[in-house]
Amino acid sequence: MRLILVRHGETPWNVTMQYQGHANVPLNERGLEQARRAAARLRPYGATALYSSDIVRAWQTAEQIGAILGLAPTPMPELREIDVGQWEGLTPEELYRRFPDHMAEYRRDPARTVRLGGESYAQLQARALVALEQIQERHAPGDVVVAVSHGGTIRALLCHVIGLDLGNFGRMWLDNGSLTELRLGRSGWRLMRLNDNAHVEDIIAEGGE
């Protein structure tokens, strides 16, 4: 089985480096174009199923992909981004100014520190792994499956697949509209490509999560 994970297209908050979490911030025009280009890139693969986070920026991306691939997206809430709680709408600079003690704790243990009123990265990973298990159970070995998700969620899955300590998730980066591929074989899931952005390379202009 091939699982192609797509990071959603760009939003205005990506540009301004505001944490989005579960906020329903829609795609901007560049984000819509990134979604269309991702769809065109995916067309030759013969995908048999399309899943998506139900947060609007991911769902809009999935709608663009589905229209070109002829697939109706299936909502999968487990693919949502981390719930950032009170971080929502804030920039990193604002976070450190407003919540210095909390951010010091986060720097000490980024994987297990619970965002104020939200989730920890460890909780996000556990949720994302439920999605991965569901996809594996529903599809045959030869299937090609596309799933639209978020930078944090995809990186949490990758840490599990490649055995990377979850605290190092920030050492990976995913551009808006990029493709990351996992393949399932006899020895389990393997990472085949990371942040393949060739189709959107000229229209990436973002800063944060």
User: What is the C-alpha to C-alpha distance for residues 158 and 52, in angstroms, rounded to an integer?
Assistant: 17
Please classify residue 188 by burial: count the beta carbons closer than 10 Å to its beta carbon, then call 0-12 exposed, 13-18 middle and 19+ buried. exposed
Q: Which of 78, 81, 88, 206 is catalytic?
A: 81
Q: Determine whether 81 is an active site residue.
A: yes
Q: Determine whether 8 is an active site residue.
A: yes
Question: Scanning the structure block, which residue is given the tokens 């990351």?
Answer: 180
User: What is the C-alpha to C-alpha distance for residues 128 and 151, in angstroms, rounded to an integer?
Assistant: 12
Q: Which of 8, 22, 150, 199 is catalytic?
A: 8
Q: What's the Cα-to-Cα distance from 82 to each of 45, 88, 100, 142, rounded to whole Å?
A: 29, 11, 21, 31
User: What is the C-alpha to C-alpha distance for residues 70 and 112, in angstroms, rounded to an integer?
Assistant: 40
Which residues are tagged catalytic? Answer: 8, 81
